[in-house]
């Protein structure tokens, strides 16, 4: 295996608030799936951190390539001494999720690397499908659910990205598409076991509806708790 990539910076207060909210959502998943659910979110944060902390696209590409190879190698090699990879090997792979099944998440983040071309709707769609669609599909696998959660993951990732785009017109389009999809996909009451997963989507929709309520706002926690209890 290639040498380990540089460590990402410690999370900022804003990132820590997001992680605490996500931990609350994970708490609504069945106990047997929580460790794997959290490990998959750890992977997503690790990949996001590469883009957040790398100013040179070539360096970012090298770091993402390392992760793509490392995930695929989990299928035939012991996990290296990296806490995220070890956590995935311990709690996700035993359920039947392959490292190669997770590698497309890396490709979703690669789409956002600055290659001199403007970010457009097609690239946003590719990011959302490869990042969120794959993440939600793999969490659903841990929960014993089917592939019906993939579109919700795509909408979740699109909503999250919309909140971080500096181009207001692009952010508005991405957010509008995500809001419509989240409303449609969350209209049906989910089974209790899936409410950790749908809770993430509820938080994403709250960010679109109430952009002034940042992660950690008490009303977001109340909304998530209500969803966890009622499915609404």
Q: How many angstroms separate the CA atoms of 157 and 160, rounded?
A: 5
CB 156 within 8 A of CB 130: no
Tell me if residue 132 falls in helix, strand or coil.
helix
Structural domain includes residue 2: no
Give a yes or no: residue 34 inside a domain. Answer: yes
Residue 48 counted as domain residue: yes
Rounded to an integer, the average pLDDT of 19-26 is 96
Side-chain half-sphere CA neighbours of 95 within 13 A: 23
CA dist 206 and 219 (Å) reads 10
- The pLDDT tens digits of the residues spanning 35-63 come to 999 999 999 999 999 998 888 889 999 99
Domain around 140: 13-230
Look over the chain and give the mean of its residue pLDDT values, rounded to a whole number. Answer: 92
pLDDT score, position 6:
39
Binned at pLDDT 50, 70 and 90, residue 158 comes out as very high
- Exposure class string for 122-134: b at 16+ Cβ within 10 A, else e: eebbebbbbbbbb
Count Cβ atoms below 10 Å from residue 120 Cβ, excluding itself: 9
- The answer to whether the CB of 204 falls within 8 A of the CB of 18 is no
pLDDT at 7 exceeding the cut of 60: no
Give the DSSP H/E element, type plus range, for residue 224: helix 218-230
Look at the block and give the residue holding tokens 């979703």. 108
Is residue 167 a part of any domain in this protein?
yes
What gap in Å lies between CA 160 and CA 153, rounded to an integer?
Answer: 10
Q: What is the pTM of this model?
A: 0.93
Residue 5 lies in a domain: no
- Angle 154-187-17 (CA atoms, 0-180°, nearest 5)? 55
pLDDT in tens, 62-75: 999 999 999 999 99
Helix (H, G, I), strand (E, B) or coil at 227: helix
Give the C-alpha separation, 26 to 198, whole Å. Answer: 10
Which distant-in-sequence residues (6+ apart) come within 8 Å of 196 by Cβ? 25, 26, 27, 28, 29, 33, 34, 37, 139, 143, 228
In a domain, 7, yes or no: no
Judge whether 107 lies within some domain: yes
Report, as an integer, the average pLDDT of 6-25: 78
CA atoms within 13 A on the CB side of 18: 14
For residue 212, tell me if it sits in a domain: yes
Q: For the segment 174-230, what is each residue's pLDDT rounded down to a tens digit? A: 999 999 999 999 999 999 999 999 999 999 999 999 999 999 999 999 999 999 999
Indicate the number of domains in the chain: 1
Distance CA 61, CA 78 (A): 24
């Amino acid at each position: 295996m290639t040498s380990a990539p540089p460590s990402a910076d410690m999370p900022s207060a804003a990132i820590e608030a997001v992680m605490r909210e996500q931990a609350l959502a994970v708490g609504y998943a069945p106990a047997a799936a929580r460790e794997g659910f959290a490990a998959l979110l750890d992977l997503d944060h690790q990949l996001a951190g590469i883009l957040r902390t790398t100013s040179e696209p070539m360096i970012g590409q090298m770091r993402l390539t390392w992760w793509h190879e490392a995930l695929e190698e989990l299928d035939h090699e012991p996990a290296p001494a990296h806490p995220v990879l070890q956590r995935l090997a311990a709690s996700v792979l035993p359920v039947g999720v392959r490292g190669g099944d997770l590698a497309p998440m890396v490709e979703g983040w690669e789409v956002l690397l600055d290659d001199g071309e403007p970010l457009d709707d097609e690239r946003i769609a590719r990011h959302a499908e490869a990042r969120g669609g794959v993440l939600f599909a793999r969490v659903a696998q841990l929960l014993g659910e089917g592939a019906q959660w993939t579109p919700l993951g795509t909408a979740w990732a699109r909503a999250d990205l919309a909140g971080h785009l500096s181009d207001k017109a692009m952010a508005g389009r991405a957010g509008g598409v995500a809001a419509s999809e989240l409303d449609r996909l969350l209209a049906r009451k989910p089974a209790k076991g899936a409410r950790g997963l749908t809770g993430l989507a509820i938080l994403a929709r709250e960010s679109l509806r109430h952009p002034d309520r940042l992660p950690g706002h008490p009303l977001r926690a109340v909304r998530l708790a209500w969803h966890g209890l009622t499915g609404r």
